[in-house]
């Protein structure tokens, strides 16, 4: 049984602007180990910007990110990946022409030690290494129940399955923190249920800390331990799903009261 | 070792499945008994390993209190450990009761109660959840054992056990009391019940069919000899374990012959696994063969022009001579040469794509298979055959012998089986594979098996001059024409439905002087046909009333009549008049059952005015019918139907 631990990721007074446009204004929240933390908000609230700050894609003008006690003025994607943070993308960024196995295998890249020459001649350590990685990839395929498509080129798969492959690639990194950018966008009810189950299973079985952005309020409330609500780049709510649901500011933002 | 099945050499003592298993562990201990694809790699178990696992499981079950005569429920997809559970139960003198894994929880209650189940072995969380849901209704259920622990970590019920625990417990038991299991197996008798298979129960409650070791071993050995099966066969086990056919192929025959059973990775991967395993012996219901053919045809249409032309050219050759070559009939030398070339270029690669390169024998049963479909597979060199049988007869009583394939018969009586036709036309069978009884149902047993041990199949049929058995219909549907000739509506309807243009047909004729029919066209096929001819139409009713379409159907009916005319017993029941219905028969309107079987009586009542028109010689009839739409709304469909005369062949008898 998972137990929510100490703060693993802490964002303090983060502000981000693109020229004159303020995307995020003075945002602070934390993520605890093993929890499922959701970031919600209407369109343009700054959710994806937030994820990109954690991920090191955007550089905030102010504030800092504290990852396991280490302070960062800015993150960079390479260091983030090394630190055990993986992510999926809202607009899928898979290799369409490659098979499901190969796509998930790319998630193992950071863990491969063999050099280019060894990989090219496919001998000794490179071969042993690839076999071990392949075994890990097969475990993920089994976990996500996509055995029937393991050799299918990703471009030929329906959207819901591509999303699952995207999750598979992120899992292949064996991340400690998993960032999910709208994992259920564009899915039907059944696909959403499947995806919810996988997210809960990942969290439960591997103890992975999950930060997810989602539009679908119902899904978020069911899945998450704690929720941050953003609106126009500001934090307007933070707490358990029940607290957030009854927060008058949140209700106002979601019901579309005039600004 | 590819000689005679070893089980046959030693004879008498190998008369129960647990003894056969021990025999294989001794004789072919290091040959593969079972494979399953796990994490992308095929894992094998030898006969010795299987025997060890079964022993551990049996001892584990004994520790849980399972004893001689107890029933063990088994629920899940085809997994090695679920097959072993059957053998484990049998080792202790118990009786495995496999249930359909896709049944909802409430449907399982009846069997769990009827068979008085104390212990159930299930595949995974899904099945555990179902049993937990109905546990209140089944107070006898003491233990639930599961194979796949995923998702079950947080279940705290004390009566839930992982199979791994039970196996570990069994191994300790086996070490402490090494003689225990041997004694249990020695106590087993060949006429003990080896399995209870519940019939699906389309009418009334399901009935538990009790089969003995002797019956299933006889059935397995009979068909092994008939098709020359050895311990070198490979089969893919993907059909429900609760179905009699799977029990025969994957358990009885595999354990009798000592061949290898392969379990697919998941239900979705069956077609991929089929290619990888390349079974030598294969079974599938007609719809599987039909789906495979459709996939091939669609992919051929997308292929380049040269490939497409080659495919069609050589398929013509195959159609002309393929089946004859397979049966060893004389064929002109030029066709033989062309066929050999086609085999190299088309048929061989095609068999490979289908995963059927190594198939020596393939069977189909369960529903009528279209002659074109059947011929297609035989013509590309796949020895596809039909069999006929019931749960009550260990899956088969008739088999088609190699080289004597008639497309419209189910073959000859199998070895050791006696088939006779009752005066009513019902097929009666007697043989070692006829069931012992229905579980706790002496009344139903007495009804099904007569004093001479003949089992009443409920099917009507006849035996032709070559000794081949033809099934025509369910006995209760067979009627008589006013002239006295036998009238088998289903038989004629099936012939009609083999045309792609005809989706459904209903024939009338009982107590009438001729046969008439309602026809439903297949909108997809006929629509496509119409498009190619530039015929515009607005919907089913419009399409069905086009004179061109009616002519198309008239042509189909004429061909069916020509076929019927060649058969002396059926010649009288040619279709004289027919009409194309203005709406599709639909389960929502109660015209079909949910499994899409025609509800004859209801249709006859609802459309009485049309039947009158057919028999009164009218050429037109107006009808208005209420229909239910899927969203629950009601509407009316009206049409003036034209009633057509069909081309009828002379029958020899003056009429």
At B358-408, the pLDDT tens digits run 999 999 987 778 788 898 999 999 999 999 999 999 999 999 999 888 888
Report d(CA B103, CA B110) in Å as an integer.
12
Answer yes or no: is pLDDT of B588 > 80. Answer: no
For B650, the token pair is 């002379």
Assigned token pair, B393: 């007869």
B269 to chain A: which residues are within 8 Å by CB?
Answer: 147-148
How close, in Å, is residue B39 to chain A by CA atoms? 5
Check CB contact under 8 Å for B272 and A148.
yes
Maximum CA pair distance of chain A?
Answer: 66
> According to the model, what pLDDT value does residue B201 have?
57
Nearest CA in chain A to B155: A1
What is the C-alpha separation between B581 and B596, in angstroms, rounded?
17
Q: Which residues of A143-174 are buried (b: 16+ CB within 10 A; e: fewer)?
A: bbebbbbbebebeebeebbbbbbbbbbbbbbb
The answer to whether the beta carbons of residues A88 and A170 sit under 8 Å apart is yes
Say yes or no: A59 contacts chain B, CB-CB below 8 A. no
> CA nearest A210: which of A193, A222, A225?
A225
| A247/A250 Cα distance (integer angstroms) | 5
Distance between B273 CA and the closest CA of chain A, angstroms: 9
Cβ partners under 8 Å of residue B104, min gap 6: B130
B26-60 pLDDT tens trace:
999 999 999 999 998 999 999 999 999 999 999 99
Of residues B61 and A185, more confidently modeled: B61
- Relative to beta strand B455-463, strand A177-181 is unpaired
Q: CA Rg, chain B, in Å?
A: 27
Nearest-by-CA chain A residue for B268 = A148
What phi and psi, each to the nearest 5 degrees, are found at residue B576? -90, -45
B-chain residues near A145 (CB < 8 A): 266
Q: Which residue has the tokens 């030929």?
A: A156
User: What is the CATH T-level fold of the domain B478-645, as seen in this structure?
Assistant: GMP Synthetase; Chain A, domain 3 (3.30.300)
User: In chain B, what percentage of residues exceed pLDDT 90?
Assistant: 63
Q: What is the pLDDT of residue B7?
A: 42
Rounded CA gap, B247 and B241, in Å? Answer: 6
Nearby residues of B137 by Cβ (< 8 Å), 6 or more positions away? B109, B113
C-alpha to C-alpha distances, B509 to B487, B512, B655, nearest whole angstrom: 7, 5, 16
pLDDT band at B654; cut points 50, 70, 90:
very low
Rounded distance between C-alpha atoms, residue B143 and residue B70, angstroms: 13
By Cβ distance, the residue of A135, A151, A205 closest to B39 is: A135
Q: Which of B:432-491 have CB within 8 Å of A?
A: none
Beta strands in A33-158 (DSSP E): 36-40, 62-67, 70-72, 85-87
Closest residue in A to B265 (Cα) is A147
3-state secondary structure of A122: coil
Q: Which residue of A has its CA nearest to B273?
A: A148
Q: What is the pLDDT of residue B475?
A: 81
Q: What is the pLDDT of residues B70-129, one digit of tens each?
A: 999 999 999 999 999 999 999 999 999 999 998 888 889 999 999 999 999 999 999 999
Listed in sequence order, the DSSP H helices in B258-357 are 270-277, 286-301, 305-327, 333-342, 348-354
Nearest to A142 among B39, B153, B272 (CB): B39
- CB-CB: which of A134, A148, A204 is closest to B268? A148
* Cα dihedral: B630, B636, B639, B644 (round 10): 50
Nearest CA in chain B to A197: B151
* Cα distance between residue B226 and residue B399, in whole Å: 9
Chain B: give the shortest CA distance to residue A197, in Å. 10
Digit-coded pLDDT (tens) for B248-305? 999 999 999 999 999 999 988 998 999 999 999 999 988 788 878 877 877 887 788 9
Among candidates A139, A148, A204 on the partner chain, residue whose Cβ is nearest the Cβ of B269:
A148
With b for 16 or more beta-carbon neighbours within 10 A and e for fewer, the A42-51 pattern comes to: eeebbbbbbb
Residue A115 is predicted with a pLDDT of: 74
- Cβ of A127: how many Cβ atoms within 10 Å? 14
Strands B634-642 and B620-628: antiparallel
What pLDDT does B351 receive?
94
B235 phi and psi, to 5 degrees? -125, 155
Q: What is d(CA A212, CA A182) in angstroms, rounded to the nearest whole number?
A: 7
Report the residue of B40, B266, B268 to disrupt the A interface, i.e. the one with the largest count of A CBs within 10 Å. Answer: B40
Closest residue, chain B, to A143 (C-alpha): B150
> Chain B: nearest CA to A147, how far in angstroms?
7
CB pairs under 8 A between A and B: 27
pLDDT (tens place) for every residue of chain A, 259 residues total: 468 889 999 999 999 998 888 899 999 999 999 999 999 988 888 888 999 999 888 888 999 889 888 888 777 888 888 889 999 988 778 999 999 999 999 999 878 877 777 777 777 788 888 889 999 999 999 999 999 999 999 999 988 899 999 999 999 999 999 999 999 888 888 888 889 999 999 999 889 999 999 877 788 888 999 999 998 889 999 999 989 888 888 888 776 654 4
CB contact under 8 A, B272 and A201: no
Strands A209-213 and A177-181: parallel
Note the pLDDT tens digit of each residue in B503-520.
889 999 989 999 999 999
| Domains of chain A (ranges, CATH numbers) | 1-84+175-259 (3.40.50.300), 96-172 (no CATH)
CA distance linking residue B400 with residue B414, whole number of Å = 9
Q: Is the pLDDT confidence value at B423 over 90? A: no
Least confident of A226-230, B186-190, B629-633: B629-633
The CA distance from B271 to the nearest CA of chain A, in Å, is 9
Mutation choice for B interface testing from A104, A137, A147 by most B CBs within 10 A: A147
In whole angstroms, how far apart are CA A15 and each of A7, A25, A73?
21, 5, 12
A131 touching B, CB under 8 A?
Answer: no
Q: CATH for B6-282?
A: 3.40.50.12780
Domains of chain B, residue spans: 6-282, 284-388, 478-645
Which tokens sit at B616?
């009164």
Q: Model ipTM?
A: 0.78
Q: Lowest mean pLDDT of B254-268, B526-540, B560-574, B584-598, name the range.
A: B584-598
| Block residue for tokens 């009164």 | B616
**Residues in A touching B272 (Cβ below 8 Å):** 148, 151
Pairing verdict, β B234-236 and B260-263: parallel
For tokens 């919600």, name the residue: A40
User: Strand pairing partners for B212?
Assistant: B193
A135 close to A172: Cβ distance less than 8 angstroms: no
Among B62, B185, B201, B196, which residue's Cα sits nearest to residue B116? B196
Angle at the Cα of B84 from the Cα atoms of B81 and B85, rounded to 5 degrees: 90
Tokens standing for residue A40: 């919600």
pLDDT at B626: 83
Q: Which range among B181-190, B490-499, B627-636 has the greatest average pLDDT?
A: B181-190
Look up tokens 């991920």; give the residue. A55
């Amino acid at each position: 049984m998972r137990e929510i631990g100490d703060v693993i990721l802490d964002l303090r007074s983060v502000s981000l602007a693109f020229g004159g446009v303020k995307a995020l204004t003075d945002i602070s929240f934390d993520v605890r180990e093993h929890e499922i933390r959701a970031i919600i908000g209407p369109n343009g609230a700054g959710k994806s910007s937030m994820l990109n700050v954690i991920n090191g894609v955007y550089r905030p003008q102010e504030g800092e990110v504290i990852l396991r006690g280490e302070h960062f003025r800015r993150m960079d994607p390479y260091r983030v990946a090394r630190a055990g943070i993986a992510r999926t993308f809202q607009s899928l960024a898979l290799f369409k022409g490659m098979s499901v196995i190969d796509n998930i295998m790319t998630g193992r890249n950071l863990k491969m030690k063999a050099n280019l020459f060894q990989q090219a001649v496919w001998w000794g350590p490179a071969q042993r290494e690839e076999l071990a990685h392949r075994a890990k990839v097969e475990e993920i395929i089994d976990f996500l129940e996509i055995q029937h498509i393991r050799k299918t080129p990703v471009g030929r798969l329906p959207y819901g399955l591509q999303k699952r492959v995207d999750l598979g690639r992120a899992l292949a990194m064996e991340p400690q923190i998993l960032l999910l950018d709208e994992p259920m966008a564009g899915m039907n009810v059944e696909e959403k249920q499947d995806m919810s189950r996988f997210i809960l299973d990942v969290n439960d079985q591997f103890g992975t800390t999950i930060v997810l952005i989602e539009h679908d309020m119902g899904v978020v409330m069911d899945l998450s331990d704690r929720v941050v609500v953003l609106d126009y780049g500001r934090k307007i709510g933070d707490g358990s799903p029940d607290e957030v649901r009854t927060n008058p500011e949140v209700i106002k933002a979601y019901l579309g009261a005039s600004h | 070792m590819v000689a005679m099945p070893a089980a046959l050499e030693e004879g008498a003592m190998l008369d129960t499945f647990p003894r056969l298993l021990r025999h294989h562990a001794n004789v072919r201990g290091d040959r593969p008994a079972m494979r399953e694809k796990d994490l992308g790699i095929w894992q094998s178990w030898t006969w010795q390993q299987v025997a060890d696992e079964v022993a551990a499981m049996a001892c584990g079950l004994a520790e849980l209190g399972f004893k001689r005569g107890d029933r063990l429920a088994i629920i899940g997809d085809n997994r090695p450990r679920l097959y072993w559970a059957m053998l484990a139960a049998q080792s202790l003198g118990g009786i495995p009761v496999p249930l359909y894994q896709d049944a909802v929880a409430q449907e399982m209650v009846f069997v769990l109660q009827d068979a008085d189940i104390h212990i159930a072995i299930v595949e995974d969380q899904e099945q555990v959840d179902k049993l937990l849901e109905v546990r209140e209704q089944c107070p006898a259920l003491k233990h639930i054992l599961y194979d796949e622990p995923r998702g079950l970590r947080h279940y705290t019920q004390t009566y839930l056990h992982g199979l791994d625990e039970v196996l570990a417990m069994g191994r300790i038991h086996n070490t402490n009391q090494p003689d225990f299991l041997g004694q249990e197996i020695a106590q087993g008798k060949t006429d003990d019940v080896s399995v209870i298979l519940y019939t699906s129960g389309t009418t009334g409650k399901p009935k538990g069919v009790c089969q003995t070791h002797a019956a299933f071993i006889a059935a397995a050995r009979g068909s092994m000899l008939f098709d020359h099966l050895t311990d070198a066969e490979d089969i893919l086990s993907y059909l429900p374990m609760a179905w009699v056919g799977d029990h025969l192929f994957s358990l009885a025959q595999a354990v009798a012959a000592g061949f290898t059973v392969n379990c697919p990775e998941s239900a979705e991967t069956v077609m991929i696994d089929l290619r990888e395993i390349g079974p030598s012996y294969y079974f599938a219901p007609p719809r599987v063969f039909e789906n495979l053919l459709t996939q091939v045809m669609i992919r051929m249409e997308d292929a380049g022009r040269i490939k497409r032309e080659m495919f069609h050219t050589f398929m013509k050759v195959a159609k002309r001579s393929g089946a004859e070559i397979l049966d060893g009939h004389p064929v002109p030398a030029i066709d033989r040469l062309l066929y050999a070339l086609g085999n190299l270029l088309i048929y061989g690669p095609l068999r490979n794509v289908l995963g059927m390169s190594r198939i020596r024998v393939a069977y189909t049963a369960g529903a009528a298979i279209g002659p074109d479909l059947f011929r297609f597979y035989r013509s590309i060199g796949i020895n596809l055959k039909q069999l006929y049988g019931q749960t009550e007869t260990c899956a088969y009583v008739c088999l088609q012998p190699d080289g004597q394939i008639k497309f419209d018969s189910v073959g000859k009586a199998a070895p050791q089986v006696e088939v006779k036709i009752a005066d009513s036309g019902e097929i009666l069978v007697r043989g070692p594979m006829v069931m012992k009884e229905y579980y706790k149902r002496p009344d139903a047993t007495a009804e099904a098996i007569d004093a001479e041990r003949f089992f009443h199949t409920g099917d009507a049929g006849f035996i032709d001059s070559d000794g081949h058995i033809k099934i025509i219909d369910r006995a209760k549907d067979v009627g008589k024409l006013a002239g006295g000739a036998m009238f088998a509506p289903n038989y004629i309807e099936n012939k009609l439905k083999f045309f792609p243009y005809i989706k459904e047909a209903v024939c009338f004729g009982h107590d009438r002087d001729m046969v008439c029919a309602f026809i439903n066209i297949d909108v997809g096929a006929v629509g496509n046909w119409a498009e190619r001819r530039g015929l515009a139409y607005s919907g089913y009713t419009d399409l069905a009333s086009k004179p061109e379409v009616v002519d198309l159907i008239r042509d189909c009916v004429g061909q069916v009549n020509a076929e019927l005319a060649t058969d002396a017993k059926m010649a009288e029941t040619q279709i004289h008049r027919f009409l194309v219905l203005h709406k599709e028969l639909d389960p929502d309107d109660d015209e079909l059952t949910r499994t899409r079987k025609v509800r004859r009586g209801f249709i006859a009542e609802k459309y009485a005015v049309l039947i009158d028109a057919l028999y009164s010689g009218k050429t037109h009839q107006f009808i208005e019918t209420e229909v239910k739409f899927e969203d629950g709304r009601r509407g009316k469909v009206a049409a003036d139907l034209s009633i057509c005369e069909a081309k009828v062949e002379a029958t020899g008898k003056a009429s």
